[in-house]
Every structure is written in structure tokens, then in C-alpha cells.
Structure 1
Amino acid sequence: MKFIEQTTILNQHAPDVITERLEPYINKLRQQRIDEVISGRLKDIQLAIACPSDINNAFATIRTAEALGVSNVHIITPEGTALMARSITQGAFYWVDIHFYEHFDAFLDYANDHQLLLAGGTVDATTPLHEVPIDNPICILIGNEHRGLTEAAQNACRIRYKIPMVGMSESMNLSVSAAISLYDTTQRKRQQLNANSDLDSAAQQQLRAKYFLNSVSPRLACALLLEPT
């Protein structure tokens, strides 16, 4: 389903109306799986990738974020083959909110509006990953595959952290760094919450409506729910 159609339907109808109308067209196992996924979603841990240049790394990172329950992924100033990520509408892209930015300042506006603490991964940082605080909303910021984070991006971070390594390698692949960072922070967040998700009831209902829309054909969803404007 096109993003604009989905957004229009979500704006036109309450979540319970959407799920009620689509429920007969989604099998019970699928509905059960949707509910299981929503019960593990986190909104207060997010991921941002600055200047990715390899689309395969971008895909791997998004899949990992989705698998670990992260709801929001930010792609800032993509370059090279990663520019094509905007046109992908399949797989993990259905199940997370992906935000694209042409400039880093636009991402900073989002981070400030949502009171996100920026934690940037760099090889020369002194704070180890396990000491990154997760008490408040946080966004893990990972840099380009070859150049890492720009000076401006590092300066915007409240915290710079490193993934402790004991081998000869001096750095890790972008998607590997993101995976380790998200695994550590999401695990600690859930332990702190003593729950798998930090979504309230309203957010869960909204997400369920969105996932129901993603589980039927766009033509059916539009026929049942899209009202003329």
C-alpha cells in the first residue's frame, strides 16, 4: 500500500474501525503474529544511520532493528546504492517507520522535538556500550561504512560510545555495529521496564491498525476504508 493511502486511511478512521473492517480478511494466525510483534515493540530506542552508501548494509540494519522490536529507523543523507532505499516497500520496511532526511539538521529537528538523547558509535570513544543510559528516549547513531560519523554528527551527540573489542580488528561493519548496539540497549531497556514493550494502549491500537493495512491487498483496503476527499 502506498504511504499516502495508508496515512489517509489512518487519519480518516479510528484504529478500532480499521481493524474491525479488515479482521474478516486476515487469518487468525496472522492476527496472532501481529499481536505478538506489537507486544515487543519499543518506541524509546531508535536507530539512525548517517550517510549510508551500501544498500545491503542499510537493508541488513533495518531488518535487524525490526527483529529486535525497534519501531523507528532514520536514514540521513543516503548516498551510493543506499539512495534506492527510498523506493523499497517490502519485507522489514512494512513493519517499521522509516524516516528519510536530506540533511542532518532535519534529523536533529526530529530528535529535539522527540527529546531523543543521541548516542553516537565511534571507535575512539571512552564510554563502553553497556554504560550508555537508557532511562530516557535514546537514538543510536551509526555513521558511514568507511568514514564513520562526521564531526558535526559527533558534536550533536550527547554521548559517544564504543563497542569494546579485544581482537586485531579496529572497527566493525555498519550493520554489525548497529546490531550489537541495538541488542544491548533493547535488552537493558526491557529489563528496566520489566516488560517487552513501552507502547501504551493507544499506540498499540494504532500500530495494530497499520499492520492490518499491511496484511491485505491495497485494493481491498482502499475499497473498504478509503473515503473520497
Structure 2
Amino acid sequence: MTGIADNKDLINRIAEDESAYQYLRSFVTPNKQQLFEKVLAHRTRHVTVVLEDIYQPQNASAVIRSCDCFGIQDLHIIEVEHTYELNKKVVKGASKWVDRHHYSSNEDAIKQLKNNGYKIVATTPHTDMTLDELPLDDKVALMFGTESTGLTDYALSEADYKIRIPMYGFSESFNISVSAAVSLNHLMTKLHNSQDIKWQLSPEEYKRQEIRWILKVINKVETHVKDFYKKQRSKYE
């Protein structure tokens, strides 16, 4: 179910109207405003995560929690055979702060990501390239498949890069949620240490994301939005 915070037209309207932005921001406590600023300073769309038909709710929820913890703003979810489900005990509210994008086919997801400038990065133990060797000059979309079968042949064939996480034990692969956490920790550390890569949100993205979060935390937000625009109309009547 979509809510007011998912209304892109409204968010754009508020972003372009400083009085509307400041009015709604006034309902957010100073502590929450400072927290938004702190988190947004480390948010990124330079790296994103793609889950292909992940059906274990615990793992799916752990991934979205890792995305939030490491500053990843978007999670792309492909649902061909399995519906993505959240485990509230695992996600612990992280789904409120990470934008989820759902697709019914691999083709649609990969096409949209490539159109948005992402290099598709397939995670698989069956490759020579390691996580450390992945270039980050372009935006990257890390794709993770199911633990039992991994990524589909289509995802692997469309990938710009195939990477593996170095391992030194008997097991061939990590749990999917561990793989995502290890990968994001490594890549975000590289981005934070980079002097050349512009990985932070643009000023426009920053403001729109803040507005979306504002709309999520204000009590009776629909009433406040209606009241503001009602008062605005009355000025010209």
C-alpha cells in the first residue's frame, strides 16, 4: 500500500516551494532534523542492491537492514516466482528509511538499472574477479540470488562484472545476508575514503529524500498538508 510519502508529485511540489518545505519541517523535532541531516550526509545511490527472487523473509529483511546501516538508499527487488516478505523482528524499522523498487521480471529490472547508469555486478563464487578489484568509477548495482541456486543465467549473462568474496574455509558461499553486509561494508569504506568519486546524494536528491522522511514521521501529516495548501489558496481568493 502506498502512502503520502510515496507521492512523487507531492514531494516535487514541496521541494519547489520553500514555504511548504519549511512549514512541514516545523513539525519535526530539532533532534529528528539533526538525525536526518547526519544520515543523509552518508546516503548514496552510487551503490545499490538487487535481490533476485529471494524468498527467505529473514534473509530478505537482514539485507534491507544492512542497506540502511551502510547508507544505501535503494533496494531493487525482483519477484518472478517468490514474493518479497519482511520479517519485522529482523528488519527493526529499517524498511521505513530504504526505498524499495519492485519488478516482476529480471529484464525490466536490469533494463531500468542500466538506463539509470548502473553497471550490473553479479555476485558468484564461480569467477576470478574479487570484490576488492571491482571499479567504482561508475554506479554499481550488486545482484544477489538465492542461496540454493544463486543468480539466474540471464542475470549472469547481462552482468558487466562478476565478483566473488574471498573465502578460506570449506563452504563455497556465505549466507545471502552476510554476503550483502560484507560487500556493502567493503564498498562503502572505499567510497568514504575516495577523494574523486561523487557518491553522495545530489542536493536535489537530498532535499527530496528529506521531504519523504518528513512525511513519514509527522503525525496526521495528511491533515497538515491539506491545511497548508488550503491556506495558500485562500490568499488568492
Partner in structure 1 of residue 30 of structure 2: 28
TM-score by length of 2: 0.85
Contact 2:129 2:162 in 1 (8 A): yes
- Distance in 1, matches of 2:24 and 2:140, equals 34
SS at match of 1:13: helix
**1:84 to 1:40, Cα distance in 2 relative to 1, 3 A:** closer
The Cα offsets for residues 111-154 of structure 1, whole Å up to 9 and x where unpaired, read as: 12112101111011111111111111111111112111011111
Letter in 1 for 2:108: A
CA displacement at 1:163 relative to structure 2: 0.5
**Structure 2: which 5+ residue stretches go unaligned?**
231-237
SS at match of 2:121: strand
Contact 1:50 1:75 in 2 (8 A): yes
Letter in 2 for 1:11: N
Superposition CA RMSD, Å: 2.5
Letter in 2 for 1:219: E
SS at match of 2:214: helix
Contact 2:130 2:165 in 1 (8 A): yes
Larger Rg: 2
Identical-pair percentage: 24
Aligned counterpart for 1:42 among listed residues 41, 44, 58: 44
Paired residues for 1:17-166 under 5 Å? 17-77=19-79, 79-80=81-82, 82-83=84-85, 91-166=93-168
Partner in structure 1 of residue 177 of structure 2: 175
**Structure 1: which 5+ residue stretches go unaligned?**
none
Letter in 2 for 1:69: G
Contact 1:74 1:99 in 2 (8 A): yes
May I ask how many residue pairs the two structures share in their alignment? 224
SS at match of 2:217: coil
Letter in 2 for 1:172: F
Paired residues for 1:185-196 under 5 Å? 185-193=187-195
Contact 1:119 1:161 in 2 (8 A): yes
TM-score by length of 1: 0.88
